Structure 1
Amino acid sequence: MDSLNPDLPPLTVTPVPPRVWKFWGTALWGLFIFAAMFVGQIGGVALLVAQRGLPMDLASIQLVGREPQALALSVTMGLPATLVAVWLAIRIKKASFVDYLALHWPSWKQLLLGAVGLILIVVAWETISRSLGREATPGFMTDLLKSGRDKGAALLLLFAFSVAAPMSEEVLARGFLYRGWSASFLRVPGAIILSSLLWTVVHLQYDMYFLAEVFSIGLWFGYMRYRSGSLWLTILLHALNNLTAVVLTMWLGS
């Protein structure tokens, strides 16, 4: 056999490096994806403005955008815009969309671990909130969800915050950003921290206390993304967190 001939050593196959955007490529495409998400969200509100025959200006968009139905449509429209932008970035690299984003189903053990960790983090922050006499949910979110319930937009808001928002944000943060940055000089720890910071920035409508809670949850999601190798896991955990918050606030909150 040729493999036993010392004059003819066996051929070695050099693995092809994965086609991944590294630090700056991921950062620039991340800005593009975020802009696409924003345009999609504004487009949803603009659609309602046009349907009502209002002038297409900033005042009309702000007026309509405060309504629960408009906000639900806005968040929902951000999802397809995000997916298209991410698909374009990955397509240019000629990589697999599924593999790039790690769209693989987690095991039940991984799902259980992720859920238990999330519950412990939420309970810890809830305990701190009560000890400080703070609201467990931002007041404006409580008003929005209850207004949506009273105006017949409960299911729209439930879908927007429990399905569309988790998918959009996870595809961007723990999907695209984590994938590229973890393959750069940042490695896994840096990718988890930086993607969690940027995910927190997306929630600047909250005060510093709630932003700290968001950041801690983001770190846990990032760790579970690394541990499981599954973006679906963080999407499910994110959806579980938002679903619980929406249901408790909308129907059970005082």
Structure 2
Amino acid sequence: MSLPNESLLMDSLNPDHPPLTVTPAPPRVWMFLGTALWGLFVFVAMFVGQIGAVVLLAVQRGLPMDFASIQLVGSEPQTLALSVIMGLPATLLAVWLAIRIKKASFVDYLALHWPSWKQLLFGAVGLILLVLVWETMSRALGREATPGFMTDLLKSGRDKGAALLLLFAFSVAAPMSEEILARGFLFRGWSASFLRVPGAILLSSLVWTVVHLQYDMYFLAEVFTIGLWFGYMRYRANSLWLTIVLHALNNLTAVVLTMWLGS
């Protein structure tokens, strides 16, 4: 009577009956190039969602479909807020499609796990210190702490009754859209590629910075360093919700200070 292990050993030594080999399942994650291409698709989807809201409002007003009309409507605080908000469902749909094709879990792929209070506190303290450093540098250089066009937009929105809409757009919709793209989808795929975690943090922060090209080089540098901190916290806590909350708190503070308390 032979035991199962003996049978397997005999098969492994018999050239006529080679042992069975198990082919590992392909990883359910887009690697470097796939992540980059799908990331571009997600960014385009976000842009289409945003510009679509502006176009829809222009059509409702009976304006001609040209650049001047879109620019006119898009410069209004209410329209800009709606544009930012409409970018969120478009981003979610595009990311869901990319993950669905890989037959992966949407929650696990994006690390939509709630962090601990200790992780949240650590991330918030680090963010506050980082912002304070940039604030001190701005004051020393005689620069404004908030870009002038953002100050004008937020105060105009407050005066025109769009304060709450702008608050939701910049403190909820924008952080969720940007974090799902940068620290969610891009970080997940690039950290599994040859870039590993350090390269994924660096490159996803760079992409996030490029999304804010409406700022000057000084503010872009600030955005990039904050992106590095968000990327580190995303890795440390394995939680996208953590960076979404930190991003939202940062934007909420900036909007409230600029809209109601700033000079």
TM-score normalised per structure 2: 0.92
Runs of 4+ in 1 over 4 A off after TM superposition: 2-9, 12-17
Map Cα deviations across residues 96-147 of structure 1 (whole Å, 9 max, x no partner): 1111000010000100000000000000000000011100000100000000
Corresponding letter in the other structure for 2:147: P
Q: Which runs of 5+ in 1 are unaligned?
A: none
Map Cα deviations across residues 146-175 of structure 1 (whole Å, 9 max, x no partner): 000000000000000000000000000000
| CA-CA distance at 1:70 after TM superposition | 0.5
Map Cα deviations across residues 182-216 of structure 1 (whole Å, 9 max, x no partner): 00000000000000001000000000000000000
User: Which residue in 2 is equivalent to 1:129?
Assistant: 138
CA distance in 2, matches of 1:183, 1:70: 39
CA distance in 2, matches of 1:3, 1:179: 45
Higher Cα radius of gyration: 2
User: Which residue in 2 is equivalent to 1:104?
Assistant: 113
Q: Which of 209, 220, 243 is the aligned partner of 1:211?
A: 220
CA distance in 2, matches of 1:167, 1:17: 29
Map Cα deviations across residues 66-110 of structure 1 (whole Å, 9 max, x no partner): 000010000000000000000010111111111100001000010
CA distance in 2, matches of 1:164, 1:28: 23
Q: Aligned runs of 1:7-46 on 2, under 5 Å?
A: 16=25, 18-46=27-55
CA distance in 2, matches of 1:179, 1:28: 14
Q: Aligned runs of 1:1-254 on 2, under 5 Å?
A: 16=25, 18-254=27-263
CA distance in 2, matches of 1:49, 1:150: 22
Q: Cα distance 1:3–1:75, how it changes in 2: closer, same or farther (>3 A)?
A: farther
TM-score normalised per structure 1: 0.95
Aligned-residue Cα RMSD (Å) equals: 1.9
CA distance in 1, matches of 2:74, 2:63: 13
CA distance in 1, matches of 2:135, 2:220: 14
CA distance in 1, matches of 2:189, 2:208: 15
Corresponding letter in the other structure for 1:222: G
| CA-CA distance at 1:14 after TM superposition | 8.5
3-state SS in 2 of match to 1:60: helix
| CA-CA distance at 1:18 after TM superposition | 3.4
CA distance in 2, matches of 1:123, 1:182: 30
CA distance in 2, matches of 1:239, 1:89: 25
CA distance in 2, matches of 1:119, 1:17: 41
CA distance in 2, matches of 1:3, 1:88: 49
| CA-CA distance at 1:50 after TM superposition | 1.2
Q: Which runs of 5+ in 2 are unaligned?
A: 10-20
CA distance in 2, matches of 1:238, 1:128: 21
Corresponding letter in the other structure for 2:183: R
CA distance in 1, matches of 2:102, 2:4: 40
Identity, % of aligned positions? 86
| CA-CA distance at 1:23 after TM superposition | 0.4
